[in-house]
Amino acid sequence: MTDLFFVDANVVVYARDASNPLKQSQATEWLQRLWRDQTGRTSIQVLSEYYVTVTRKMKPGLPRDDAWEDVCALFSWRPQAVDEALLRRGREIQERYGIAWWDSLIVGAAQLQGCSMVLSEDLQDGGVYGGVTVRSPFTLAVNEPLPSYVPARSVASPPRGRGRPKKSTSLRTST
């Protein structure tokens, strides 16, 4: 089986950002490889972040129609929906590894899609989260041989506490 790579928004943004030619070139090389090998994956969260960043934050920004074309092309990577399964997985990852919420959703989406690697500049390069390894596309060369990774099927839930459960302060109301 070919390793699947989860691509974070910053990689796709750099491929469109001419203000940093070196990162633009490296990000473009990675995307070309993933398109060629059909091993790229992403999430709806990433596509949303990409669209907002390139149309509103990047200077000069992309025209909305161009950004939307990019998003539509990436739909073929079967982006992970932000759904109950992802939110539950993200919460487990956040609790287990102590990473930020949005990053835990990135790792969770990668796990749910069977990816062995996340390409991201935002998470710790070389960090391993339940069988998913994070690598910066700016330190890992496209042609560098990759070790064989085995993606985790599930993240272990944190152990339950002992004794009586705490009173719920959730949004649920008792009837």
Q: Give the model confidence (pLDDT) of 36-94 as tens digits.
A: 999 999 999 999 999 999 999 999 999 999 999 999 999 999 999 999 999 999 999 99
Strand order, beta sheet including 128-129: 40-41, 5-7, 117-119, 132-135, 128-129
Average pLDDT over residues 155-162: 44
- The three-state secondary structure class of 5 is strand
Yes or no: say if 86 and 101 are a contact pair by the CB < 8 Å rule. no
Over the stretch 81-129, which tens digit does the pLDDT of each residue have?
999 999 999 999 999 999 999 999 999 999 999 999 999 999 999 999 9
Q: Does the domain at residues 5-135 carry the CATH identifier 1.10.10.10?
A: no
Distance in angstroms (rounded) separating the CA atoms of residues 164 and 109: 33
Mean pLDDT of the chain: 88
pTM, two decimal places: 0.83
Residue 40's SS3 state is: strand
Contact 31, 46 (CB under 8 A): no
Residue 48 in contact with residue 67, Cβ under 8 Å?
no
Place 2 in a pLDDT band, splitting at 50, 70 and 90: confident
Beta bridge partners of 132: 129
Confidence of residue 146 (pLDDT cuts 50, 70, 90): low
The residue extents of the domains of the chain are 5-135
Measured distance CA(46)–CA(7) in Å, rounded = 8
8-34: pLDDT as tens digits: 999 999 999 999 999 999 999 999 999
**Contacts of 30 by beta carbon, 8 Å cutoff, 6+ apart:** 5, 7, 11, 119, 137, 142
